[in-house]
Amino acid sequence: MTIDPDENRLLLCSMSLGYTAYHVWALQSRRERRYNIARIFEASSCVKRVRAERAFQSLGEVGSTGENVSRALDGLEPNAVATGPVTGTSPLSRDLLSRASRALAEGRDLNAEEIGDLYVCSNCGELIEGEPPDVCATCGTVREGYLPFRAAEAMGNLGPYSIVRKIEQTPATLRAIIDGLSNEQLSLRVAGHSLKELMGHLTDMDVVFRERAWLILETDNPRLPSAHPPTLSRATGYNTQKIADIIDAFQTSRQQSLGLLRGLTPAAWHRTGYHVIYGTIPLTHQGNWLVDHERGHLIQMAQIRHDLLQQLGGPGQLKLPANLVPEILQGE
């Protein structure tokens, strides 16, 4: 298959646009805790990236690193091209997006029965749902060359050691976030939620995680209590509590969770539970879920602290701008 430079420029342009569109939509789906739909966007974005890379290579724009640095300094100047549609361009892509659309119309993510694992051929960008074939039907690449977008890894790829390390650090991070702030500041609802509420919410979620982890470790492939973990809107009661009590409660819960996880064998971390959204998932999935959820809120809290301290500094800055913090992360 030979393609002339004009066609390759068109491909590069259209695939790069599609890549960016799908990538940014995936980030938004994650913010809305629609992880299966995020996976459709991530796999679709990967398809476009692989194809954009091929077109870019074919245009002769890739040399040695030294040559590429020179090219970069010269400044690549793409020709403007009218590309036509850049997303939803294959039957499978339209099918996946239609399924996502129907689930969202019901106010939910796709569940495990409605979407399989996704794979993208790393050589040609062919998208597959379900088990990949031994070789790519389009280009002959072996199955090891497929890039996976599996439900089991949708929360991240941290291993047991990294998961434990990260969640061990959270109590110290929380203490640093509240350091030097007044009770009034800790209770002030910035962009919807106060630092006290957010910290209380982290305790609620730690309890959910520990219950699920305990079930996975103690029973065989349990059905995980999943549909309704405590959301942030249920954390308002924390605003009237003392910050010392809120931090203590988190610390106590976290110690219990760490007590459950420390010393687990790799086999124990690979024990599974059944989650209605993700399907059969290992304990590592839930560990990544806890880390991912906490990271989102810690960034949010650091931003609130920063803004509260700014507010103290300059005159005329008493009112905080709206929409400082991305949309609140919900439980699932």
Query: Binding residues for Zn ion, per CB under 5 A?
Result: 121, 123-124, 126, 136, 138-139, 141
Distance of closest approach, residue 224 Cβ to Zn ion, in angstroms: 36
Q: Of 263, 35, 255, 264, which is closest to residue 152 (Cα–Cα)? A: 35
Task: Identify which of residues 124 and 264 has a Cβ nearer to Zn ion in the complex.
Answer: 124
Backbone dihedral region for residue 151 (phi beyond 0: left; psi -120 to 50: alpha; all else: beta): alpha
Give the helix, strand, coil percentages of the chain, each rounded to 5.
60, 5, 35
Q: Residue 46 corresponds to which tokens in the numbers above? A: 């990967």
Residue 145 CB, nearest approach to Zn ion (Å) = 8
Nearest position to Zn ion, beta carbon: 136
Q: How far is the CB of 45 from Zn ion (least distance, A)?
A: 17
Q: Minimal distance in Å, beta carbon 21 to Zn ion?
A: 22
The torsion region of residue 119 among left (phi > 0), alpha (psi -120 to 50) and beta comes to beta
Question: How near is the Cβ of 175 to Zn ion at its closest, in Å?
Answer: 51
Cα(252)–Cα(269) distance, integer angstroms: 22
**Pairing of the two strands 279-282 and 272-275:** antiparallel
Is the Cβ of residue 126 or residue 332 nearer to Zn ion in the bound state?
A: 126
Min separation Cβ 144 and Zn ion, Å: 12
Q: Tell me the closest approach of the beta carbon of residue 137 to Zn ion, in angstroms.
A: 8
- SS3 label, residue 177: helix
Distance CA 178, CA 125 (A): 47
| Alpha-carbon gap, residue 304 to 178, rounded angstroms | 10
Nearer to Zn ion, 135 or 302 (CB): 135
Judged by beta carbon, residue 3 or residue 276, the one nearer Zn ion is 3
d(CA 195, CA 108) in angstroms, rounded, equals 28
Given the complex with Zn ion, which of 23 and 143 has the nearer CB atom? 143
**Beta carbon of residue 63, minimum distance to Zn ion (angstroms, whole number):** 25
Name residue, tokens 């091209």: 81
In which residue are the tokens 């010392």 written? 244
State which residue, 141 or 241, has the beta carbon closest to Zn ion: 141
Nearer of residues 141 and 231 to Zn ion, judged by Cβ: 141
Closer to Zn ion by Cβ: residue 42 or 126: 126
Contact 162, 171 (CB under 8 A): no
Please give the Cα distance from 308 to 330 (Å, whole number). Answer: 24
